[in-house]
Amino acid sequence: MRRRLLSSFRSRLVAAGIAPIILMGVAAAFDSAISATNQKRVSQLFSLDLFMEETLSSVDAVVENLAVYIDTKNSDALRACMHHTKALSEKVGALSGGASYSEDAMLERNLAVLTRRMIAESEAAIRARRGRNIPEYGARYQKVRLLASFIHDRADALSLERLKLNLDAFATLDEQSGRAAALLGAMLASAMIFAAAVVSTFSLKLTDPLDALAAAAVRISEGDFSGGPLSAYGDDEIGQTAEAFNVMQASVEANIEEIKNKAAVEASLMEERLKNLEMEGHLRSAELKALQSRINPHFLFNTLNTGIQLATVEDADRTRVFLERLAGLMRYSFRDLDAPVALRDELACLRDYVYLMRIRFSDSMTFEIAAEPGAESAALPKMIVQPLVENSIRHGFADKPSGARVRVSARIDGGDLVVTIEDNGSGLLEGRAKEILDAADEGRELGNAEGGLGMANVIARLRLFAGRQDVVEFRDANPGTLIVLRVPFKEAF
């Protein structure tokens, strides 16, 4: 397809720059042409004056040198006379020779005739002088003088006539020059206005798209892509730039969308990482508490083993079983808190603890532990159930020396492991459940934990394990308290 003239912005800029120059150049050319014409005209007006001056000088020179020659026969005078005679002959050839209705042409004819006659008389006088014909050369010389005076008269008349003509011509020239000057001024003014309008138009055509581009760039820099693509600006550089800008805008918009998605993913990951860090914090806290209770475990285990062996030697079976259960409970508690355990392990630990509690508090307490088949294999953070039971014993039965009963059960319910700890103790004080949950939310422990792992810590670890908040529920069992733990069921390894 053929490209349109001035289709590129560069060519338009060049045109906008060259157009004023061309217009001014045209005006200057006409100014120059008119000036040259006027100069030629003025020169023409005065050319005849110059011609007449030269002719009359030659006429006078002929008369003067002829007189000298006739008087003295001076060769130089003769040479000068002949030279000027020849010059006069050449000049006569330039003069009008025929009759004319034009007065100045008639005067030219007069000059031509008189000059030719004077030349002829001058040459005749020279010949007569050479022939020593005194009467003739005298008469010829007088005739030459008379003709010279006639030539002067006619030249004066011609000059006067030409002056009249020249005055008319000069008036015409002056009028036409004035008209030309006015036209030139008008041409220059219109050229300047035209040039200014051309430049302004091109400037607007340049700056309007650029302004739109700049506004779009600012809008995009502020993250606003609602403006849509720029409209078409033709196939020039601005149009190409707008097209490239639209491509860039689409690209930037897509990149920003991608970055947003990545940021969302990273935020999710960061949240997960924070959760893990929080879990680690709770674990560290639990571990710290555990370590506080670990007083030289090797010494304690060795001592307990020694006690077991002593009980065995002394046939003190109750003591041996007691020590074995205590050792088992302590061994379980010293295991790594990070690794989840099976519910059966947790319940075994609980049985050890219950056994010890029964020995300690005789059989005044009734413990029931029941777990549905399959529930015991569920994964659970370590030391979850035991602290809760311990808490029931410690707080629920402080004022109940007999008839205390604690029941722990576990079941699978809709994909969740549900563990309930129910006691018939004094129940929770009003607002105590909320305090416990708030403490778990804030990651702090309640002040009356009194050794072991506090309920807030238990709840916090359980939440982190389950990945949700609703892992524990405190209910009034009337009498007593029912604690329901609910975590997603996961098979323990």
Residue 198 or residue 220: which is nearer to other proteins going by CB? 198
Residue 205 or residue 335: which is nearer to other proteins going by CB? 205
Residue 146 or residue 300: which is nearer to other proteins going by CB? 146
Q: Which of 198, 316, 412, 482 binds other proteins (CB under 8 A)?
A: 198
Based on the shown chain and the rule CB under 8 A, indicate whether residue 276 belongs to the binding site for other proteins. Answer: no
Based on the shown chain and the rule CB under 8 A, indicate whether residue 197 belongs to the binding site for other proteins. Answer: yes
Q: Which of 133, 176, 246, 377 binds other proteins (CB under 8 A)?
A: 176
| Cβ pair 383, 454 in contact under 8 A | no
C-alpha–C-alpha distance, residues 251 and 257, integer Å: 10
Residue 173 or residue 436: which is nearer to other proteins going by CB? 173
Q: Which of 63, 66, 124, 191 binds other proteins (CB under 8 A)?
A: 191
Site string for other proteins, 127-166 (x = CB under 8 A): -------------------xx--x--x-----------x-
Residue 77 or residue 111: which is nearer to other proteins going by CB? 111
- Please enumerate in sequence order all residues whose Cβ is within 8 A of that of 147, keeping only pairs 6 or more positions apart, or say none: 114, 117, 118, 121
Tokens of 297: 């475990």
- Neighbouring C-alpha atoms within 13 Å toward the C-beta of 443: 11
C-alpha–C-alpha distance, residues 58 and 83, integer Å: 9
- Please enumerate in sequence order all residues whose Cβ is within 8 A of that of 390, keeping only pairs 6 or more positions apart, or say none: 353, 452
Give the interface size with other proteins as a residue count (CB under 8 A).
51
Site string for other proteins, 98-117 (x = CB under 8 A): xxxxxxxxx--xx--xx--x
C-alpha–C-alpha distance, residues 265 and 271, integer Å: 10
Tokens of 39: 């100069």
Three-state DSSP class for 259?
helix
Which long-range contacts link 310-314 to residues 24+ away (Cβ below 8 Å)?
Answer: none
Residue 35 or residue 246: which is nearer to other proteins going by CB? 35
Based on the shown chain and the rule CB under 8 A, indicate whether residue 359 belongs to the binding site for other proteins. Answer: no
- Please enumerate in sequence order all residues whose Cβ is within 8 A of that of 116, keeping only pairs 6 or more positions apart, or say none: 92
C-alpha–C-alpha distance, residues 258 and 255, integer Å: 5
User: For binding to other proteins (CB under 8 A), which residues are involved?
Assistant: 23, 26, 30, 33-34, 37-38, 40-41, 44, 96, 98-106, 109-110, 113-114, 117, 146-147, 150, 153, 165, 169, 172-173, 176, 179-180, 183-184, 186-187, 189-191, 193-194, 196-198, 200-201, 204
